[in-house]
């Protein structure tokens, strides 16, 4: 008789819990090593302080997806504020599913869990960024109701820019 597949659970990470903290760092490191991440491991100093520093950020939250006891997916989110709606918003900063677990609907379940948490927080919207070459992620985000952001189509869509500070 074949054994049943492990149940998928998604829970809010407790940054002070050793297991959650270790799983968060391991999942983010795997994402960082991915070509759609930085293509390199997280720096050791980042690994050492990440959960503690996330805990210190007001409105930060992370969701960890587990199949049985194994951490397989992560969403790191930050609560911001929409001045146009005068309400909170939630930004998905990182969304990652381990490569061996992709194609099972884990990303979609994480997205639904983010939506539920955003609603609990009274958010007016959920935002994210995605690389133009990441067609797989774009397909997931579109299926979950996301689209390029534009206030006025004549003015074009918003772009995500950065300026690194050293």
DSSP annotation string for the chain: -PPPPPPEEEEE--TTSHHHHHHHHHHHHHHHHSTTTTSSPPPHHHHHHHHHHHHTSTTEEEEEEEETTEEEEEEEEEEEEETTTTEEEEEEEEEEE-GGGTTSSHHHHHHHHHHHHHHHTT-S-EEE---TT-HHHHHHHHHTT-----SSGGG-----------
The predicted model gives 75-103 an average pLDDT of 97
The residue segments making up the domain with residue 120 are 8-155
Q: Tell me: pLDDT of 13 over 70.
A: yes
User: Is 94 contained in some domain?
Assistant: yes
The predicted model gives 95-119 an average pLDDT of 97
**What mean pLDDT value characterizes the chain?**
95
The predicted model gives 63-69 an average pLDDT of 97
State residue 41's pLDDT score.
Answer: 97
The predicted model gives 19-37 an average pLDDT of 97
State residue 166's pLDDT score.
Answer: 85
User: Is 162 contained in some domain?
Assistant: no
User: Is 166 contained in some domain?
Assistant: no
The predicted model gives 98-125 an average pLDDT of 97
User: Is 2 contained in some domain?
Assistant: no
Total structural domains within the chain: 1
The predicted model gives 132-147 an average pLDDT of 96
* Of the candidate ranges 13-27, 47-61, 146-160, the one whose mean pLDDT is the lowest: 146-160
The percent of residues above 70 in pLDDT, for the chain, comes to 97
The predicted model gives 84-90 an average pLDDT of 97
User: Is 160 contained in some domain?
Assistant: no
User: Is 145 contained in some domain?
Assistant: yes
CATH number of the domain at 81, please: 3.40.630.30
Q: Tell me: pLDDT of 109 over 70.
A: yes
pLDDT confidence of 50, banded at 50, 70, 90?
very high
- Asked if 8 contacts 67 with a C-beta cutoff of 8 angstroms, the reply is yes
């Amino acid at each position: 008789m074949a054994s049943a597949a492990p149940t998928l659970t998604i829970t809010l990470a407790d940054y002070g819990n050793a297991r959650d903290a270790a799983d968060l760092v391991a999942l983010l490191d795997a994402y960082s090593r991915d070509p759609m991440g930085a293509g390199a491991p997280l720096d050791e100093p980042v690994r050492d302080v990440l959960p503690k520093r996330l805990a210190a950020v007001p409105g930060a939250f992370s969701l960890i997806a587990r199949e049985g006891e194994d951490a397989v997916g992560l969403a790191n989110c930050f609560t911001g504020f929409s001045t146009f709606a005068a309400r909170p918003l939630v930004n998905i900063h990182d969304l990652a599913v381990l490569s061996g677990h992709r194609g099972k609907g884990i990303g979609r379940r994480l997205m639904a869990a983010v939506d539920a948490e955003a609603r609990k927080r009274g958010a007016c919207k959920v935002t994210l960024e995605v690389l133009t070459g990441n067609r797989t992620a774009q397909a997931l985000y579109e299926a979950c109701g996301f689209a390029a952001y534009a206030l006025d189509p004549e003015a074009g869509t918003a772009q995500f820019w950065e300026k690194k500070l050293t």
